[in-house]
Amino acid sequence: MNKTIRILHLEDLPTDAELVSRELKKGKIRFEGLVVDNKNDFIKALEEFSPDIILSDHNLPTLNSIDALRIVRDKGLKIPIILVTAAMSEEFAVNVMKGGAVDYILKDRLQRLPAAVISTMEKFRLENERQEFLDDVIKNEALLKETESLAHIGSWQSDLLNGITKWSEETYRILGYQSGEIIPSFENLVKSVHPEDKDYVKKISADILIGLKSRKFNFRIIGKDGAIKHIRSELLIERNEEGFPIKITGFNQDVTETSLAVEELKSSREQLRALAAYLQNVREEERTAIAREIHDELGQVLTSLKMNLTLMDKTISSNETISNKKELSDEISSMKMIIDNSIKRIKKIITELRSEVLDNLGLIPAIEWQIEEFNKKSGIDVGFNNLCGEVALNKDISIAVYRILQEALTNVARHSKASKVNVKIEKKGDHFKIEIEDNGVGLKSEPSKESKSFGVLGMRERAIILGGDFTIENVDPSGAKVVVNIPLEKAQLV
User: What is the pLDDT, as a whole number, of residue 493?
Assistant: 44
Give CATH superfamily name and number for 357-493: Histidine kinase-like ATPase, C-terminal domain (3.30.565.10)
φ and ψ at 76, to 5 degrees?
Answer: 70, 25
What DSSP letter does each residue of 171-226 carry, written as one string?
HHHHHT--TTSS---HHHHHHTB-GGGHHHHHHHHHHHHHT-SEEEEEEEEE-TTS
Task: Note the pLDDT tens digit of each residue in 480-493.
Answer: 999 988 887 654 44
User: What is the pLDDT, as a whole number, of residue 53?
Assistant: 92
140-254: which CATH topology? Beta-Lactamase (3.30.450)
In this structure, of 7-16, 40-49, 388-397, 459-468, the range with the lowest mean pLDDT score is 388-397
d(CA 254, CA 27): 34
In this structure, of 121-125, 196-200, 477-481, 487-491, the range with the lowest mean pLDDT score is 487-491
> Please, which contacts does 310-315 make with residues 24 or more away whose CB atoms are closer than 8 Å?
310/336
**Residues 107 and 85 sit within 8 Å (Cβ to Cβ):** yes
pLDDT band at 249, cuts 50/70/90?
confident
More confident residue, 332 or 287: 332
Full-prediction pTM beyond 0.75? no
- 3-state DSSP call for residue 236? strand
What is the CATH architecture assignment of 5-135?
3-Layer(aba) Sandwich (3.40)
Non-local (6+) Cβ contacts of 462 within 8 A are 280, 400, 403, 404, 470
pLDDT band at 450, cuts 50/70/90?
very low
To 5 degrees, how large is the angle CA 373–CA 475–CA 96? 115
φ and ψ at 31, to 5 degrees?
Answer: -150, 155
What one-character DSSP code corresponds to residue 154? E
User: For the chain, how are helix, strand and coil distributed in percent, rounded to 5?
Assistant: 55, 25, 25
User: What is the pLDDT, as a whole number, of residue 51?
Assistant: 93
Task: Note the pLDDT tens digit of each residue in 16-48.
Answer: 999 999 999 998 889 999 999 999 999 999 999
Task: Note the pLDDT tens digit of each residue in 254-273.
Answer: 888 777 777 777 666 666 65
pLDDT band at 356, cuts 50/70/90?
low
Task: Note the pLDDT tens digit of each residue in 370-405.
Answer: 888 888 888 899 999 888 877 667 777 788 888 888
